[in-house]
């Protein structure tokens, strides 16, 4: 396992590249390596379509697809390779070290609670934080890349997502938000925005979540995932054809890939009571990258248990060591980052997960998983349709 690239071959560099092309001030990461060859000169409208879960390994198994036909390069996601961290990078242009979103479940010191960041509510239950706590905007403390562009900005998302606390925090103040109900609706909305610009420069960010959801439910290698990819590829063909000959540039990438797990590769903390006794908080982060907050004086016992009992299927790191080794990207650093990654980080081997359960939570039932540092999770395609 290795840290992702933030020097020219990562999604952070893609956002720096797009931002520079659309007039945004430089951020902490450079643009894409010139060898990637993403040409945006003359593009009146730049479209970034993020397909959640479309990993490079998944696409490589479908060489006859239109998406594979236009595959330009392979990029790294961020660490952890998960939606909350990666989408926040797309929306802010910052690596996780800068934006401070470090996983699905984060200990948010300002709220004194383990928080599911995307739903923006307490981990236990399906609630959202109410009016009595700071909003996602205040906790993020980072402005949206879309507000820094010298171009119109549009966000195209599922209807249920366009007015969530997370979207309001990351889409910024200037971007117009557009909802859709299905894949055909996404294609039509993007086509209309790209072809009705009236000579104005535009950036269109579009997001599709369902491939990831199906891989979680059925597995990366499942028939439902394959059937859905075929529908996605057909939608891409339609959009590519609709934009042919226009001044629009269509770019497609993903937030992460996935790997399949199995019940026999799920480690429940309740089956390791001696390990659980060393923890001061529930596990945070991701089942593929667990942030562990230790009780004072329990460091040696925790480290010994992981190495002696779980060392064959888990890598153990100090959280500070991962920051210093560049896993979360370069500085500047979000003021709350260190509080959001615990004391130790456990990285299970590919296909393995480490999970705990709080009162009332359902057992872990995902088949496809992500968040770790394996190539299948980290590597995503960069696709660009010819003008």
Rounded percentage of the chain residues whose pLDDT exceeds 70? 99
Mean pLDDT of 52-76: 98
- C-alpha 77/C-alpha 138 separation (Å) is 25
Which residue spans within the chain are E strands per DSSP? Answer: 45-51, 71-76, 105-108, 113-116, 121-122, 152-158, 176-180, 202-208, 248-253, 259-260, 266-268, 284-286, 289-292, 314-318, 344-348, 353-355, 368-369, 379-384
In sequence order, the 6+-apart residues with CB closer than 8 A to the CB of 194 are: 45, 47, 202, 204, 243, 246, 248, 250
Mean pLDDT of 296-314: 97
DSSP-derived 3-state class of residue 50: strand
Name the residue with higher pLDDT: 217 or 42.
217
Chain centre to alpha carbon of residue 299: 30
Domains of the chain: 11-259+374-384 (3.40.720.10), 263-369 (3.30.1360.180)
| Cα-only R_g, the chain | 20
Q: What are residue 315's DSSP bridge partners? A: 347
Mean pLDDT of 239-252: 95
pLDDT in tens, 145-187: 999 999 999 999 999 999 998 999 999 999 999 999 999 999 9
Does the pLDDT at position 374 exceed 90? yes
Q: Would you state the pLDDT for residue 121?
A: 87
pTM over 0.85: yes
pLDDT in tens, 358-367: 987 888 889 9
Which whole-number Å values give the CA distances from 217 to 101, 211, 212, 368, 380, in the listed order?
24, 10, 9, 7, 20
């Amino acid at each position: 396992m290795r840290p992702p690239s933030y020097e020219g071959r990562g999604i952070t560099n893609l956002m720096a590249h797009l931002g520079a092309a659309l007039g945004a001030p430089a951020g902490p990461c450079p643009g894409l390596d010139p060898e990637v060859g993403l040409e945006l000169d003359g593009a009146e409208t730049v479209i970034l379509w993020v397909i959640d879960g479309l990993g490079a390994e998944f696409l490589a198994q479908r060489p006859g697809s239109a998406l594979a036909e236009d595959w330009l390069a392979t990029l790294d996601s961020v660490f952890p390779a998960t939606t909350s961290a990666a989408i926040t990078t797309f929306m802010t242009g910052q690596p996780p070290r800068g934006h401070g979103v470090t996983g699905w479940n984060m200990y948010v010191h300002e709220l004194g609670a383990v928080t599911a960041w995307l739903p923006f509510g307490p981990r236990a239950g399906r609630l959202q934080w109410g009016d009595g706590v700071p909003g996602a905007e205040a906790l993020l403390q980072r402005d949206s890349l879309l507000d820094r562009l010298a171009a119109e900005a549009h966000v195209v998302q599922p209807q249920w997502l366009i007015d969530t606390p997370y979207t309001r925090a990351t889409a910024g103040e200037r971007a117009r938000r557009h909802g859709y109900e299905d894949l055909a609706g996404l294609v039509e909305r993007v086509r209309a925005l790209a072809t009705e610009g009236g000579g104005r420069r535009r950036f269109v960010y579009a997001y599709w979540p369902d491939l990831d959801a199906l891989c979680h439910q059925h597995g990366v290698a499942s028939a439902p995932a394959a059937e859905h990819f075929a529908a996605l590829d057909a939608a891409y063909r339609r959009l590519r054809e609709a934009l042919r000959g226009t001044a629009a540039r269509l770019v497609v990438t993903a937030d992460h890939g996935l790997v399949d797990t199995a019940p026999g590769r799920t480690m429940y903390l309740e089956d390791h009571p001696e390990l659980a006794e060393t923890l001061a908080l529930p596990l945070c982060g991701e089942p593929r990258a667990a942030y562990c907050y230790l009780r004072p004086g329990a460091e040696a016992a925790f480290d010994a248990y992981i190495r002696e009992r779980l060392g064959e299927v888990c890598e153990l790191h100090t959280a500070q060591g991962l920051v210093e080794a560049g896993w979360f990207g370069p500085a500047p650093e979000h003021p709350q980052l260190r509080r959001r990654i615990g004391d130790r980080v456990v990285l299970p081997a590919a296909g393995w997960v480490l999970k705990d359960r709080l009162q009332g939570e359902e057992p872990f039932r995902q088949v496809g998983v992500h968040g770790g540092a394996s190539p299948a999770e980290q590597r995503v395609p960069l696709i660009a349709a010819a003008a």
